[in-house]
A and B are shown apart, each in its own frame.
Chain A
Amino acid sequence: MSGKIIVITSGKGGVGKTTATASIGAALALEGKKVAVVDMDIGLRNLDVVMGLENRIVFNIVDIVNGRCKVKQAAIKDRRIDNLFLIPASQSDNKDALTPEGVVGVSEELKEEFDYTLMDCPAGIEQGFENSIAAADEAVVVCTPDVSAVRDADRVIGLLYARSITPKLIVNRIVPLMVERGDMLSHEDMVDVLSVELAGLVPMDDNVVVSTNTGVPLVLQKESKAGSAFRRIARRLNGQNDLPIVVPQSQDRFWKKIGSRLGIGR
């Protein structure tokens, strides 16, 4: 079988790439696909703690690329979700421990082993970015509704287009009340400015912090709105293109809608 390599990137740091990678990876595995999530942030690994697998690391991606181990040996199996594997970053190596050529060299082995390989790209557009996109078939750009994140996303989208990769956009940390109040960019604003196709919309959700605290996958928390948003994104990436994009709504607006149905709204 030949799988797909998808890079999750953003340009700006702290917009939720790692959470998105962990959640989409877990969700794709729940759809029955064999998935590897790869931490490409050499020297600053984090995907392992977000996924709660930090105590089980033996080999890492640098070991694979340098031929010190096989993909199968380095991939840590998640015990809660079948078919979900983590390939961690090396914490001790330098940023230049990987090269784009090295990553391309192991991409066939990854595609052979997994239906989906998600590359968790580090922030920035330097070496780590180059390594992460080198073997990518598809790209997802994560962006929050603020000016600095959108500007960086635009730059990254341009760089991806230059490599003939057409990225899709995830708008993360939407606060519907603020959008309605006119104090936050809406996803329409962002699509308009970036002219890019949407992969999905994720609301701000306290459960993300709880999930990161405990290392329990967000998508396993039934009541998490962000979790279900990521599950929909995963299904869309998995070929369910007709799945409609759900726009996060405030509780406030929900009750108003009910109210107006009953004839008591404004």
Chain B
Amino acid sequence: MLGGFFRKVAGKSSSRDVAKKRLKFTLIYDKLEVNDDVLNNLHRDIVEVISRYFEIDKDAFKMDIRRTEDRSALIVNTPILSSKRKT
């Protein structure tokens, strides 16, 4: 199509291409979203598992999902008070 030709020459992308690109990103981001219930359960479980091996400061325990351009990371930060030695 002629319109498409001019757009290509001018280096502009069609609104169709823009829509597709935006959709792809949106859907990826949508899927990374976690609801509060899931997050709270995960929080509880991680504290429980770590507590089997270490004495930790439960109030200072921090958990966060950090998103960057192309990936998400689960960041857990907890002060360890002491290790639990098997006797």
B38 within 8 A of A: no
B14 within 8 A of A: yes
A183 within 8 A of B: yes
A198 within 8 A of B: no
Q: Could you list 8 A-B pairs, sorted by A, with CB under 8 Å?
A: A147-B23, A150-B23, A151-B26, A154-B27, A182-B1, A182-B17, A189-B16, A193-B24
Asked whether, in the complex, the Cβ of A182 is within 8 Å of the Cβ of B24, the reply is: no
B44 CB, min distance to chain A CBs, angstroms: 23
Asked whether, in the complex, the Cβ of B26 is within 8 Å of the Cβ of A182, the reply is: no
- Among B7, B15, B17, find the residue whose CB has the most chain A CB atoms closer than 10 A: B15
Q: CB-nearest residue of chain A relative to B15?
A: A183
> Which chain B residues lie closer than 8 Å to A150 at the CB level?
23
B27 CB, min distance to chain A CBs, angstroms: 5
B4 within 8 A of A: yes
Q: Mark B1-42, 1 if CB is under 8 A from A, else 0.
A: 101100100000011110110111011001100000000000
Q: How large is the interface on B (under 10, 10 to 19, 20 to 34, 35 or more residues)?
A: 10 to 19
Asked whether, in the complex, the Cβ of A184 is within 8 Å of the Cβ of B16, the reply is: yes
Determine the main DSSP class of B at the interface with A: helix
Give A contacts to B, CB under 8 Å: 146-147, 150-151, 154-155, 158, 179-186, 189, 192-193
Name A147's contact: one of B1, B14, B26 (CB within 8 Å). B26
- Among B7, B27, B31, find the residue whose CB has the most chain A CB atoms closer than 10 A: B27
> Which chain B residues lie closer than 8 Å to A179 at the CB level?
16
Determine the main DSSP class of A at the interface with B: helix
A178 CB, min distance to chain B CBs, angstroms: 8
Q: CB-nearest residue of chain B relative to A154?
A: B27
- Other than A154-B30, A192-B20, give 8 A-B pairs with Cβ distance below 8 A: A147-B19, A151-B26, A154-B27, A180-B1, A182-B3, A182-B15, A185-B16, A185-B20
CA distance A179 to B4 in the complex (A): 11
Given the known interface contacts A150-B23, A182-B1, A193-B24, the answer about A155 and B16 at a Cβ–Cβ threshold of 8 Å is no
Q: CB-nearest residue of chain B relative to A158?
A: B31
Given the known interface contacts A147-B26, A151-B27, the answer about A193 and B20 at a Cβ–Cβ threshold of 8 Å is yes
> Which chain B residues lie closer than 8 Å to A146 at the CB level?
19
> Which chain A residues lie closer than 8 Å to B3 at the CB level?
181-182
Asked whether, in the complex, the Cβ of A151 is within 8 Å of the Cβ of B1, the reply is: no
Q: Mark B38-77, 1 if CB is under 8 A from A, else 0.
A: 0000000000000000000000000000000000000000
CA distance A244 to B50 in the complex (A): 57
Q: CB-nearest residue of chain B relative to A150?
A: B23
B2 CB, min distance to chain A CBs, angstroms: 9
CA distance A193 to B26 in the complex (A): 11
CA distance A184 to B16 in the complex (A): 5
CA distance A11 to B30 in the complex (A): 15
> Which chain A residues lie closer than 8 Å to B15 at the CB level?
182-183
